[in-house]
Amino acid sequence: MKYPTLSPKYILWIFLFLLGLQACSPDNQQEKYSEKDFQIEKIDSFEVNNLTRVIISDYSEQEKTYLGYATVEDEILEIDLDGNIIQRAKKKGDGPGNYGNWNPIGMSFGPDGLRIAELPFALFAFDSTYQTQFQQRIQSPLPIRAFGPLGKTQYFESNDSTFFLVGPSNYLSAHYLIRNEEGRDTLKNFYKLHLESGEMKSVVPYRSQSVYRQTEGFYPELMTKSFQINRKTSELLVLHGLEDEIEVYDLPGLNYKGSIPLKHEEFLTYNSVPIEIEQNDERITQLRMMAGRNISLIQIDEDLYLISYFTGITPSEYDNRKAEDPLYSPISDLNEKRLILIKNKKQLGQELPSVPGTILFGMGNGKFLVQEPENSEIEEEVTRFSIYQVKI
C-alpha cells in the first residue's frame, strides 16, 4: 500500500493547525472564568528567552522541570519553573547517540527519569545527561517532517515492561492513511511499542459505532484524536475529533470498557466526502476550516479532565469574517472555542469559554499549561506561557 509524501509547506500548515494557530486575545481578556460548578483561574506565568520559538511538551512534578524544544536550533531543552533554560541537548545529526536528521514528533518524560524522543521511524530513551539508554525502530507508514514535537509520547508499564503508544497518526489526522479501501479496513488508532523487545502491534481499532465507520467517505483533517493514560485507574481514555463520547480502555489489555458521554452546547458538523475527492473541492474547505471538532483531552488531576473543542461555523459566517479579515482563521477564533470539565467520569455543569492561547497539557493538582498567543505586531524574542487552575 502506498501513502502520500507530504510537502514541507503542507506539513508546516498541519503543524500550525495542530497547535491551534495561537488564538488572539483582546487586551481586556478576563483571567478568571466561573460557572456554578467550577471556575478556571490564571495563577502564574513565565517567559522562555531563547530568541527563537520554544515548544514545551511535558512537565515532571518530581523534578519540577519542563521538557522543551527549540525549533530553529533543533535542541532539546530543560526549563525550570521560572522559564530559565537549565540544560540544552543537541541530538539531531548523524553519529553515535544522535537520532539522525529528523525532528522529534513527540517528546516526554518517561519512566525512571528517562527523556523520550519519538521520531517518525524510531523512539529514543535518554537518561538525564542525554546518553542513549534504549533505541527502538518504529515501523511507520506515514513519513512526516515536523519543526518540533507535536505532542507528548505516552506510555504505561506492566509486568516489568514498558509500552509506548507511538506513530505519526497520533498527532496528524488519520485520513492520510485511508486513501483507498485497504487503508480503511486496516486503520487502527495506535501502535503499541514494547520498549525492551521492540515488538510492535497495531491496536485499538475504530469501533463499529464510530462516526468514522458510518460512512463510505472520510473526514479530511477531522480524523484526529486526543488521549490520556491514567496510571491510577489503569485506563486509556481516547477522544476522537468528531465523537460525543470519550472511549475508555483497560490496561494493559487495551480492551474496550465503556464510554463517558459528552454534551456539546454547539457542535456544527459537515458530511464526509468521497475518498477520491479533488483537493480543491469546497467541501474539503468546509471540513478543514469550518467543522466543529474536539481539540484536546487534558488530564489535570487523577479523576479530572478538561476538554477543549471548536464549535464550528457556517459558510456564511466564514465568508463574512474572511471579508472583514483576510487572515481570519476559525480554529484560532477564541469566541468559537469552549471548555468542558469531566470529574469522576461525569460532565460538570455548563461550558466555559476557552482561555487565550494553546492548551498544552495538565500538570496535576487541577493545573494546566497554556502557550500564550504571539504578538503579531512585533517580532518577540521570548515564548510566553501561563498556568491555569481549575477550582471546584
My answer on whether omega of the bond before 220 falls inside 30° of 0, hence cis, is no
Q: Can you give the pLDDT at residue 228? A: 97
CA atoms of 366 and 301, how far apart (whole Å): 5
What's the average model confidence in pLDDT over 320-341? 95
Most confident of the following: 3-17, 191-205, 259-273: 259-273
CA atoms of 239 and 310, how far apart (whole Å): 14
329 in Cβ contact with 321 (< 8 Å): no
pLDDT at 74 over 70: yes
Q: Can you give the pLDDT at residue 275? A: 86
Confidence of residue 31 (pLDDT cuts 50, 70, 90): confident
Q: Which residue has the higher pLDDT, 184 or 356?
A: 356
CA atoms of 360 and 322, how far apart (whole Å): 28
CA atoms of 301 and 362, how far apart (whole Å): 7
Q: Can you give the pLDDT at residue 182? A: 60
What's the average model confidence in pLDDT over 297-325? 96
pLDDT per position as a tens digit, 107-166 = 999 999 999 999 988 999 999 999 999 999 988 767 788 889 999 999 999 999 999 999
Share of the chain above pLDDT 70, in %: 87
Q: Can you give the pLDDT at residue 5? A: 44
Q: Can you give the pLDDT at residue 183? A: 59
Q: How many beta carbons lie within 10 A of that of residue 114, not counting itself?
A: 18
Taking Cα atoms as reference points, which of 158, 103, 167 lies closest to residue 140?
Answer: 167
Beta strand 382-391 pairing with 39-49 = antiparallel
Name the pTM for this structure.
0.88
Share of the chain above pLDDT 90, in %: 70
Which cell numbers hold the place of 57?
A: 511538551
Which cell numbers hold the place of 374?
A: 504571539
Q: Can you give the pLDDT at residue 33? A: 67
Sign of CA dihedral 246, 249, 254, 255: negative
pLDDT at 66 over 50: yes
